[in-house]
């Protein structure tokens, strides 16, 4: 019964999201696009955080390199969008493999600090290497060509681009979800709960952490890639450590214990930011209050707290 | 004695100036149950930590079936057929009881690296998990969250996880510690039946002498990191130094000790 309700609620959400351009104000097409992209970014982060138990503070590097990859390919080679995004995924995974290789051997706060340090290095490179990245101006002035696969879409139309993002995010989220439900995903959760027991079951923990980190980097890169046509620019700020904090905050807001938590967190984050900044400049003050209350009273996040309560109910 | 499954030579572990384990020599025959006894701080757990790969020995060597495993990482030693439990419960508290065993079974069968199967749809792993939990008499708990079952059941669950990787050599660290007398009897009976099945070689550290004398084929007595004596139950019971050093023959609580035996 309850699983039927959940499936029904999910389908309804998808229908409402598809229909968004027809009932919501024009402005919300942009909000929706941002929520979806940041939601995928946060969900990719949560594979490492909520599932495997590693707090990465450098995920903006994978997100940002994805944005740069798509922006540069559009600018210099005018590739179809899908091909650009595939490359974004690839470079996100590759960078995560390199950074992860050096980071996953450490635990807890040391892992967090090391990923933060690598993230800052990547940011500096994007900022300083003017001949390639165009420094603080970033990569801009690219135009959107075709979508790929011979599908004819006017990507420059915000509503069309919103639907493209929605489709890609749904497919990517399904793949991520399947990974979480697999034996591999179960093993990651076991590692979070008791890494030592898992290694005494005969598994090399480091390899599993690295695999999770690399997969996470791939999806963060994909999310970043979709950001390029949306913002029309790839700039170093996207790799700044404050960008790394966003998926952390979103995951905690929505709840790290459920797969969709980070998506709910992304929606809350972006909507609150939009509404509050339209009233006052002090958005960070309100975000701080909301976060403090969440951590003090609803540690499982909005979605987590609700689902815990509802699934427990007879 | 047939070729030993475990052969330990001059095993030593020093922490700074403190010698926790000193020059242990030991051979364990296949399908034997060897109990390791000694007061707290005698070096039993450090000894386990070296055999299972958690610590690298300062000196000495460990051979498993004739292969040198000294200083190998835990997951390598585990894959060679050594599995251990811990003194403190060591399970996956947020998972169901069955999932706890499934994690270990998936590791053993090589499913853990599968990205696109459905973990809860793996019939083979499910069936094996149910069978194992049944064998440990906690089958009726399989859908409970592991973190909330009773202490004794958690200890049984850990043994199930330990056995799931189909080890040849099983190291149990105080399996009955903190248990009620009822639970102790249940676990002892269970280990007895597992030992009688001939599938396993057991090393057991234990404070309860009743359990030790009930299960052990031989006993290793450790004292301040050294091997005081290795022998059959009777040999150890009557060994003058053991009586003096460990069983406290000439102490006042002599009667209590005898009662425990």
Task: Report the residue of B77, B100, B103 to disrupt the A interface, i.e. the one with the largest count of A CBs within 10 Å.
Answer: B103
Contacts of residue B116 in chain A, CB cutoff 8 Å? 178-179, 182
Query: What is the structure's pLDDT at B248?
Result: 55
Confidence of residue B244 (pLDDT cuts 50, 70, 90): confident
∠ Cα B92 B94 B98 (to 5°)? 65
φ, ψ of residue B39 in degrees (nearest 5): -65, 170
Both tokens assigned to B67:
């292969």
More confident residue, B257 or A94: A94
pTM of the model: 0.90
Angstrom distance (rounded) from CA A200 to CA B107: 10
Task: Report the residue of A51, A171, A181, A190 to disrupt the B interface, i.e. the one with the largest count of B CBs within 10 Å.
Answer: A190
Contact flag B117-A185 (C-beta cutoff 8 Å): no
Query: What is the structure's pLDDT at B257?
Result: 43
What is the Rg, in whole angstroms, of the alpha carbon atoms belonging to chain A? 19
Give the chain B residue nearest A193 (alpha carbons).
B92
Residue B41 has pLDDT above 90, yes or no: no
pLDDT tens digit string along B104-160? Answer: 999 999 999 988 888 888 889 999 999 999 988 899 999 999 999 998 889 899 999
Q: Give the minimum alpha-carbon distance from B150 to chain A in angstroms, rounded to a whole number.
A: 19
Q: Give the minimum alpha-carbon distance from B160 to chain A in angstroms, rounded to a whole number.
A: 12
CB atoms within 10 A of CB A6: 14
The domain B1-81+167-261 is placed in CATH, from the list 3.30.70.100, 3.40.50.300, 3.40.50.10710, 3.40.50.1360, at 3.40.50.300
Query: What is the structure's pLDDT at A302?
Result: 87
More confident residue, B87 or A22: A22
Query: What is the structure's pLDDT at B210?
Result: 87
Average pLDDT, chain B: 87
Sequence ranges of the domains in chain B: 1-81+167-261, 91-166
Give the residue from A207, A256, A205 showing the smallest Cα distance to A55: A256
Query: What is the structure's pLDDT at B259?
Result: 43
Angstrom distance (rounded) from CA B241 to CA B248: 10
Q: How far is CA A277 from CA A284, A285, B128, B228, in A?
A: 9, 11, 56, 75
Query: What is the structure's pLDDT at A281?
Result: 83
Residue B177 has pLDDT above 50, yes or no: yes
Q: How far is CA A286 from CA A281, A282, A292, A293, A302, in A?
A: 10, 7, 10, 11, 16
CB A104 within 8 A of CB A111: yes
Residue B88 has pLDDT above 90, yes or no: no
CB B100 within 8 A of CB B92: yes
Which among A183, A202, A204 has the least Cβ separation from residue B122? A183
Average pLDDT, chain A: 91
Contact flag A178-B115 (C-beta cutoff 8 Å): yes
pLDDT tens digit string along A208-223? Answer: 999 999 999 999 999 9
Task: Report the residue of A3, A195, A197, A219 to disrupt the B interface, i.e. the one with the largest count of B CBs within 10 Å.
Answer: A197
Angstrom distance (rounded) from CA A104 to CA A56: 10
Find all residues with CB under 8 Å of A176, minimum gap 6, and list them: A43, A44, A47, A219, A259
φ, ψ of residue B59 in degrees (nearest 5): -145, 165
Give the chain B residue nearest A179 (alpha carbons).
B115
CB A177 within 8 A of CB A39: no
pLDDT tens digit string along A153-200? Answer: 787 888 999 999 999 999 999 999 999 999 999 999 999 999 999 999
Contact flag A187-B94 (C-beta cutoff 8 Å): no
The residues on B that touch A, with CB distances below 8 Å, are 52, 73-75, 78-79, 83-84, 90-95, 99, 102-104, 106-108, 111-120, 122, 125, 161, 164-165
Summarize the confidence of residues A111-121 as an average pLDDT. Answer: 91
Could you identify the residue written with the tokens 């801009």? A140
Angstrom distance (rounded) from CA B105 to CA A123: 43
Give the chain A residue nearest B118 (alpha carbons).
A182
Task: Tell me the percentage of chain A whose pLDDT exceeds 90.
Answer: 62
SS3 B87: coil
Which among B103, B117, B118 has the least Cβ separation from residue A201? B103
Query: What is the structure's pLDDT at B121?
Result: 83
- What residues form DSSP beta bridges with B203? B34, B171
Give the residue from B188, B164, B158 showing the smallest Cα distance to B176: B188
Residue B253 has pLDDT above 60, yes or no: no
Give the chain A residue nearest B90 (alpha carbons).
A197
- What residues form DSSP beta bridges with B12? B59
Both tokens assigned to B148:
């909330």
Task: Report the residue of B76, B80, B82, B92 to disrupt the A interface, i.e. the one with the largest count of A CBs within 10 Å.
Answer: B92
């Amino acid at each position: 019964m309850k699983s039927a309700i959940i499936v029904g609620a999910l389908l309804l959400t998808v229908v409402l999201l598809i229909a968004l351009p027809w009932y919501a104000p024009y402005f919300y097409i942009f909000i929706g696009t941002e929520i979806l992209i940041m939601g995928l970014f946060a969900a990719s982060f949560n594979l490492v955080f909520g599932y495997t138990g590693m707090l990465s503070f450098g995920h903006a590097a994978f997100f940002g390199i994805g944005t740069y990859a798509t922006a540069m390919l559009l600018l210099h080679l005018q590739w179809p969008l899908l091909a650009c995004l595939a490359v974004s995924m690839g470079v996100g995974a590759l960078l995560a493999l390199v950074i992860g290789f050096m980071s996953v051997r450490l635990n807890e706060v040391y892992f967090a600090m090391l990923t933060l340090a690598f993230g800052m290095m990547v940011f500096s490179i994007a900022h300083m290497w003017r001949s390639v990245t165009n420094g603080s101006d970033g990569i801009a002035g690219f135009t959107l060509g075709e979508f790929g696969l011979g599908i004819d879409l006017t990507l420059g139309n915000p509503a069309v681009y919103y639907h493209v993002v929605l489709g890609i995010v749904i497919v990517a989220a399904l793949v991520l979800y399947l990974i979480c439900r697999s034996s591999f995903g179960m093993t990651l959760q076991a590692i979070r709960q008791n890494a030592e027991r898992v290694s005494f079951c005969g598994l090399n923990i480091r390899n599993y952490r690295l695999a999770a980190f690399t997969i996470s980097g791939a999806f963060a890169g994909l999310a970043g890639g979709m950001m390029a046509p949306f913002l029309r620019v790839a700039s170093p700020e996207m790799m700044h450590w404050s960008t790394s904090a966003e998926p952390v905050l979103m995951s905690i807001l929505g709840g790290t214990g459920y797969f969709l938590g980070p998506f709910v967190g992304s929606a809350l984050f972006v909507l609150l930011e939009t509404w509050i900044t339209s009233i006052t400049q002090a958005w960070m003050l309100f975000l701080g209050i909301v976060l403090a209350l969440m951590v003090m009273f609803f540690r499982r996040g909005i979605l987590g707290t609700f689902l815990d309560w509802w699934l427990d109910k007879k | 004695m047939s070729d030993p499954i475990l052969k330990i030579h001059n095993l030593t572990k020093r922490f700074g100036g403190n010698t926790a384990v000193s020059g242990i020599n030991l051979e364990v025959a296949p399908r034997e149950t060897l109990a390791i006894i000694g007061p707290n701080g005698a070096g039993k757990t450090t000894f386990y930590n070296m055999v299972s790969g958690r610590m690298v020995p300062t000196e000495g060597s460990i051979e498993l079936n004739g292969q040198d495993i000294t200083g190998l990482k835990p997951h390598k030693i585990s894959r060679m057929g050594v599995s251990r439990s811990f003194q403190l419960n060591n399970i996956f508290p947020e998972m169901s009881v069955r999932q706890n065993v499934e994690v270990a079974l998936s590791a053993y069968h090589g499913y853990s690296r599968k990205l696109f199967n459905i973990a809860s749809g793996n019939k083979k792993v499910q069936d094996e998990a149910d069978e194992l939990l049944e064998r440990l008499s906690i089958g009726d708990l399989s859908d409970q969250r592991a973190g909330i079952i009773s202490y004794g059941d958690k200890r049984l669950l850990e043994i199930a996880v330990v056995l799931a990787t189909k080890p040849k050599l099983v190291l149990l660290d105080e399996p009955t510690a903190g248990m009620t007398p009822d639970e102790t009897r249940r676990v002892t009976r269970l280990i007895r039946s597992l030992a009688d099945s001939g599938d396993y070689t057991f090393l057991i550290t234990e404070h309860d002498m009743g359990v030790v004398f009930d299960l052990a084929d031989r006993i290793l007595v450790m004292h301040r990191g050294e091997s005081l004596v290795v022998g059959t139950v009777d040999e150890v019971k009557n060994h003058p130094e053991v009586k003096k050093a460990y069983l406290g023959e000439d102490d006042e609580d002599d009667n209590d000790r005898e009662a425990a035996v």
